[in-house]
Amino acid sequence: MMAPTYLGAIMAFDSFEADVVGVPVDALARLLQDGLRPKLLYTIPEHQNPTGLTLSRERREALVALCRRYHVLVLEDVAYRELGFDGEQLPSLWSLAPDVVVQAGTFSKIFFPGVRLGWAAGPASVIARMAIAKQNTDQCAGALGQRLLEEYVRGGHLDDQLVRSRALYARRCAAMMAALEAHMPDHVTWTRPRGGFFTWVETGVDTVALAARAAAAKVAYVPGAPFHPGTGAGSALRLSFSRVADDEIDEGVRRLADLITTASEEP
C-alpha cells in the first residue's frame, strides 16, 4: 500500500517486532470495518515527513472518531507543527480527542537536534507507562540541555526564532517549487508543502538506482522506498529544502531534472 511515513518511526516500531502496515488516510475506515485491529495508529498530521502534506480538518475529525469507535490509540507526531509557513494551525488530534491520542513532539526542528529533548501529552495511564519506559531507557534527559531550553524559551527566543524559521523555510520552499516547475520533465509531479522541510517527488524512474548518479553530480536526496513499511514507491524521492543555501536550489534541481530526463529515456 502506498503510505509513506517517517523512517525513524518505522525503524522504532520494527525494533519491537511490530507488524507495521502502511494505511492511506482514506482507506482506514474500510480496513477497520474489515477487521484490522491495530494497537496503535501513528501519524504526522502537519507537513509530513516525507511528503510535506497536511491532514485536513475534516480528515482529522474523521480519524479520531474512527479511532475512538474502534479503540485504537493514536500517536500524533507533531515534529513540524510549528513550522507552517503562514503560521496557521489546524486543531491537533490531541486537542480533538485527548482520550485516544498521545501527542509526541520534538525540539529538534525548532531548537536544535543535538539537545535530544521532546515531550508527550496524552491519557494519564499511557503517559505514566511512557515515563517508566523512558526512565528505563535513558534514566533521564540531560539536565544541561533542559536548562538551555528553559532559558531560551523563557527569554522569548523560541518565539522569535520560529518567526525567522518559518520565513526561511517558506522562501526556500518557494525557490524549490519554482526550480521544479522550471526544470522537471512533464511526467514528474511533486507535492506543494505549506510548511516543514520536504517535498515528495514522483519521478517515474528508479530512485535507488539514480541516487549514485545524483551523488556524483553533487545532488543529495533520499529515495522513497525506505519510507514505506515493507516495499513501495521505488520511483519517488524526498527532496529537502530546509538546509540547502538559497542560491544552490535552482542548480541542484536542474541537475536532478537532467538525470531524471536521461534515466527516463533509457530502455
Ligand X SMILES: Cc1ncc(COP(=O)(O)O)c(C=O)c1O
Q: How far is the CB of 48 from ligand X (least distance, A)?
A: 7
Pairing of β 222-223 and β 73-77: unpaired
For residue 117, the minimal CB distance to ligand X (Å) is 7
Query: What's the farthest any 2 CA atoms get from each other in the chain?
Result: 60
Running DSSP on this structure, what letter comes out for residue 84? B
Q: Tell me which amino acid residue 195 is.
A: G
Alpha-carbon distances, residue 7 vs 139, 194, 226, 230 (angstroms): 25, 21, 7, 11
> Of 95 and 106, which CB lies nearer to ligand X in the complex structure?
106
First to last CA, the chain: 27
Which is closer to ligand X, CB of 44 or CB of 225?
44
Residue 164 has a CB neighbour count (10 Å cut-off) of 9
Decide whether 38 or 45 has the Cβ nearer to ligand X: 45
CA–CA separation, 115 and 144 (whole Å): 9
20 or 44, CB closer to ligand X?
A: 44
In the chain, count of helices (H) and strands (E)? Answer: 9, 8
CA atoms of 5 and 111, how far apart (whole Å)? 23
Task: Work out the angle between the directed axes of helices 246-265 and 207-216 (0-180°, nearest 10).
Answer: 130
Residue closer to ligand X (CB basis): 44 or 219: 44
Comparison of 107 and 190: residue with beta carbon closer to ligand X: 107
Q: Read off φ and ψ for residue 3, nearest 5 degrees.
A: -155, 75
Minimum Å gap between C-beta 249 and ligand X is 20
**Least distance from C-beta 131 to ligand X, angstroms?**
17
Cell of 209: 538506482
Q: From the CB of 108, what's the least distance to ligand X, in Å? A: 3
Q: Which is nearer to ligand X, 80 or 190 (CB)?
A: 80
The minimum distance between CB 37 and ligand X, in angstroms, equals: 25
Nearer to ligand X, 77 or 82 (CB): 77
Least Å distance between CB 93 and ligand X? 14
Instruction: Give the Cα separation of 168 and 145 in Å (integer).
Output: 25
Please give the C-alpha separations between residue 240 and each of 10, 79, 144, in angstroms, as whole numbers: 20, 15, 30
Q: How far is the CB of 185 from ligand X (least distance, A)?
A: 29
CA distances from 103 to 43, 123, 153 (A): 10, 10, 20
Point out which residues bind ligand X (CB under 6 A): 6, 8, 44, 49, 77, 79, 106, 108, 113, 118
